[in-house]
Homo-oligomer: A and B are copies of this chain.
Amino acid sequence: MKGFNGKILRVNLTSGRLSVEEPSEAYYGRYLGGRGFIIEKLLTEVPAGIDPLGPDNKLIFALGAITGHPLPGNGRNSIGAKSPLTGAYGESEVGGFWGAELKKAGYDAIIVEGAASEPVYLKIENGQAEIRDARKIWGLEVADADKAIREELGGEKYRIAAIGPAGENLIRFACVLNDITHAAGRTGLGAVMGSKKLKLIAVKGDNPPEMADRDKILQMARALAKDTKENPTGFSINGTGGAMDKYEAIGNLPIRNFQGGTFPNVKELMPQRMKEKGYWDKMESCFGCPVRCKKKLKKIDTPWHVDPIYGGPEYETLAALGPNCGIDNLEAIMKGHELCGRYGMDTISAGATISFAMECVEKGIITKEDTDGMDLTFGNAEAMLEMLERIAYRKGFGDVLAEGSKKAAEKIGKGADAFAIHVKGTEVPMHEPRLKQGMGLHYSEHATGADHCTGIHDERLSMSELNSMDVAESVPSTELSPRKARILYQLGLWRHIPNHIGMCLFVSWSQKQLTEAMEYITGWPMSYWKLMKTAERGITLARIFNIREGLSAKDDTLPQRFFTSPEKGPLKGVSVDPDQLAEAQKIYYQMLGWDESGVPTYARLVELDIEWAQQYLRP
C-alpha cells in the first residue's frame, strides 16, 4: 500500500497496553483516512450515551493519504471523539508539522482509549511507541510543556500535539495544539485529551512515505508551488482577516454577540494595521507548504506583554475577541489570542462564550454579583482578558463559562439561552448566517454544530470551485432556497474531501488535481466521484453517530437571533426565514439520501458500502 503506512496505533491508557492494527487495503480505500477513519472507529467502538469526558470515549488522531507527502497543504491531520461541547460527533482539523511527522514515524492514526490514573504523555519514534510519565509537565502552559518535553527527550526534532491547562481542567472548548501555534480548535477535543490525563503526543520519524508515482507528485508540487508564488492569495499576504473591513461593510462581521450594527474601528484590528504598527515579523508555513499563511508577530511589551511564540491571531480570533465582544483594541485581542494559546482554548468558542456573557450583562440577566465583581460589558478589553484566564482555570464565574455558552445559559437560566449563539452547543463562527444563508443552512445541519470550514462562503466562488456548469446561475447570498441546498450538497461534499485526505483548504486545488494527486500517491484508481462518495460516506456516518446519541432534525436549527433582523447596520431587515430553512434542510437531507427527517435510508447505506451502519439506526 502506498500513501499510507498501513498501521494504526492503539493506546489504552487504562491498561497501558499499546498495540498496532493493520486494516485491509480495502478499509483504507473505503474511508481514505482522516475523518473517514475517525467516524468509522467512533461508531463501531464507542458505545452510545457514554460520558465524553469519561474513559469510554476515544480520542482519535488520523492522517489522510496526502498528509506528509511533498505537496502543498499537506500538513494536516484530523482529531475526533465524542464531543464534550455538544455530546455529538466531535472533530477538528489542524495543520502544522505533527501530522507529517506521524506519517514519517510509521502510523496513519492513533486511537487513544481509556484514561490514565496519573498524567502521561505519549512518545512515538519511528514506529516505537511509549507511554511516559507527564506529572512534571501537568499544569504547564502549552509552550512551557512543549519546551520541557523537548528538553526531556533531548531533541528539537520532535513534533508535539499538546493540551494546556484548559484541556486539563476539562474546559469544554479546550483545543489540541500542534507545535504550539496550530490549533485543532473546535468541539472540545482538548478536554477529551485532558480527561484521559494525556498531556501531549511527541512524535519523531525519519521515513518519508512512499508514493505510487513520485515523479508525478513532484511535478505537481512544483507546478502548484509556482502557481502559489505567482498568484498569491490574500492568505499568503495577510493570513486571514485582510478583508475584515469589507466584511463589516456587508454585514458578515459579527458585532456584539451577533446583534449587528456597524463597527467603524474595524480597520484598527486588521493584519494590515499590525504591519503599520510594527508588530509584524513574517509569514510562516506548515510542513512543506508554499502558501505560508501563518502570521508570525513580534514581541509586544505594552499595554500587555504578548509572547510571539503563540503566533498571531487570524480572522476568527480577531472577530471573536474583537467586534463580537465590542472590542476595538488590537493589542488586547493579540493578548487574548496569546492567552488562548497558553491555556489551549478554542478562540471562537472562548470569544463567543464571553460575548454571550456580555450580552447577558447588557440585558440584566447577570450582574456583577454573578461575575465576581467583574465589569463584563461589551468593549471592556481588560474584562475579556481576565475572563479568559478565569475560564481556563474555572475560577468563579469562569467555571460557568468553561462549560460553553449552551450549558452556561442552562445554568444561568432567566432566558439567557436567547443569547447563547451556538448550534448543537458549538458556538457560531464569525460569519453571519443571515448574510451567508448557505452557511447558515450548513451551520444548522452539520454534525459537529456550526462549522465555517465545510460550508458555503461565496456562492459564486463556490460554483467556480466546483467547476460546475450544472449550477446554471448564481444564487444570492441571502437566498435560502432548494437551489441553495443543492450548492451546499455539492460544495459540502467537496469541502469534506480535504478532511479525509489530509489536505488544506487554502491551496487552490482543482477537482482534477486532487483526484490525480490521490492517484499518484496511492496508486489506487481514483475519480472525483469516488472522492465525493467518500465524503458522503463520512457525512452519513457522522449523522448516524448523532442519531444514535439521540439527536434528530429538531437539533438542526439556528439560534433564534438569526430569525430576526438586526435593528441597524447592513443587515437591517435581513433575517433567516425559519420555514425556508426547514424546507431547505429537508431538500438537503434528501439529496444525501436521508429521509425527510434526516435519517439515512438503508438504500443509501448500501450505495455507500456502509450497510453495516444500519444497526446503529435501530432503536
Q: Does A532 contact B (CB under 8 A)?
A: yes
CB-based contact A471/B587 at 8 Å: no
What is the CB-to-nearest-CB distance from A104 to chain B, in angstroms, rounded to a whole number? 26
What is the CB-to-nearest-CB distance from A193 to chain B, in angstroms, rounded to a whole number? 33
Copies in the complex: 2
A-B contact pairs, 10 of them (CB 8 A): A26-B469, A29-B469, A467-B527, A469-B524, A485-B606, A486-B607, A510-B525, A528-B530, A587-B606, A591-B604
Q: Does A609 contact B (CB under 8 A)?
A: yes
Which of chain A's residues 480-526 have a Cβ closer than 8 Å to chain B? 482-483, 485-486, 489-490, 510-512, 515, 519, 524-525
CB-based contact A528/B525 at 8 Å: no
Given the interface contacts A467-B525, A532-B529, does A590 sit within 8 Å of B609 by beta carbon?
A: no
Among candidates B25, B470, B586, B602, residue contacting A587 with C-beta atoms closer than 8 Å: B602
Q: Does A449 contact B (CB under 8 A)?
A: no
Residues of A within 8 A of B (CB): 25-26, 29-30, 467-472, 482-483, 485-486, 489-490, 510-512, 515, 519, 524-525, 527-530, 532-533, 586-591, 593, 601-604, 606-609, 611
What is the CB-to-nearest-CB distance from A31 to chain B, in angstroms, rounded to a whole number? 11
Closest 7 CB pairs of A and B: A590-B603, A467-B525, A29-B469, A527-B528, A482-B606, A528-B529, A587-B603
CB-based contact A609/B471 at 8 Å: yes
Query: Across the interface, which residues of B come within 8 angstroms of A482, CB to CB?
Result: 602-603, 606, 611
How long is the Cα–Cα vector from A486 to B537 in the complex, in angstroms? 14
Known: A29-B470, A512-B519, A587-B606. 20 other contacts (CB 8 A): A30-B469, A30-B470, A468-B530, A482-B603, A482-B611, A483-B606, A483-B611, A486-B606, A510-B525, A511-B529, A512-B525, A515-B527, A527-B527, A586-B603, A587-B602, A587-B603, A590-B593, A590-B601, A590-B602, A591-B606
CB-based nearest B residue for A512 = B527
Given the interface contacts A469-B29, A609-B472, does A511 sit within 8 Å of B527 by beta carbon?
A: yes
How long is the Cα–Cα vector from A592 to B26 in the complex, in angstroms? 25
The residue among A588, A593, A603 with the most chain B CB atoms within 10 A of its own CB is A603
Query: Across the interface, which residues of B come within 8 angstroms of A485, CB to CB?
Result: 603, 606
CB-based nearest B residue for A490 = B607
Query: Across the interface, which residues of B come within 8 angstroms of A588, CB to CB?
Result: 603
Given the interface contacts A532-B529, A606-B486, A609-B486, does A30 sit within 8 Å of B587 by beta carbon?
A: no
CB-based contact A26/B530 at 8 Å: no
CB-based contact A530/B470 at 8 Å: yes
CB-based nearest B residue for A483 = B606
Query: Across the interface, which residues of B come within 8 angstroms of A603, CB to CB?
Result: 482, 485, 586-591
What is the CB-to-nearest-CB distance from A24 to chain B, in angstroms, rounded to a whole number? 9
How long is the Cα–Cα vector from A525 to B590 in the complex, in angstroms? 27
Query: Across the interface, which residues of B come within 8 angstroms of A29, CB to CB?
Result: 469-470
What is the CB-to-nearest-CB distance from A105 to chain B, in angstroms, rounded to a whole number? 26
What is the CB-to-nearest-CB distance from A493 to chain B, in angstroms, rounded to a whole number? 9
Given the interface contacts A511-B527, A606-B485, does A591 sit within 8 Å of B591 by beta carbon?
A: no
Query: Across the interface, which residues of B come within 8 angstroms of A25, CB to CB?
Result: 469
How long is the Cα–Cα vector from A591 to B471 in the complex, in angstroms? 22
What is the CB-to-nearest-CB distance from A544 to chain B, in angstroms, rounded to a whole number? 16
What is the CB-to-nearest-CB distance from A495 to chain B, in angstroms, rounded to a whole number? 14
What is the CB-to-nearest-CB distance from A581 to chain B, in angstroms, rounded to a whole number? 15
How long is the Cα–Cα vector from A593 to B469 in the complex, in angstroms? 21
CB-based nearest B residue for A493 = B529
How long is the Cα–Cα vector from A483 to B606 in the complex, in angstroms? 6
Query: Across the interface, which residues of B come within 8 angstroms of A529, CB to CB?
Result: 511, 527-529, 532
How long is the Cα–Cα vector from A115 to B513 in the complex, in angstroms? 51
Query: Across the interface, which residues of B come within 8 angstroms of A587, CB to CB?
Result: 602-603, 606
Query: Across the interface, which residues of B come within 8 angstroms of A606, CB to CB?
Result: 482-483, 485-486, 587, 591
What is the CB-to-nearest-CB distance from A259 to chain B, in angstroms, rounded to a whole number? 34
How long is the Cα–Cα vector from A525 to B469 in the complex, in angstroms? 8
Query: Across the interface, which residues of B come within 8 angstroms of A611, CB to CB?
Result: 482-483
The residue among A485, A528, A533 with the most chain B CB atoms within 10 A of its own CB is A528
How long is the Cα–Cα vector from A608 to B467 in the complex, in angstroms? 15
CB-based contact A533/B469 at 8 Å: no
How long is the Cα–Cα vector from A395 to B44 in the complex, in angstroms? 69
Query: Across the interface, which residues of B come within 8 angstroms of A26, CB to CB?
Result: 469, 472
CB-based contact A609/B470 at 8 Å: yes
Given the interface contacts A482-B611, A529-B528, does A30 sit within 8 Å of B591 by beta carbon?
A: no
CB-based nearest B residue for A603 = B590
The residue among A512, A591, A606 with the most chain B CB atoms within 10 A of its own CB is A606
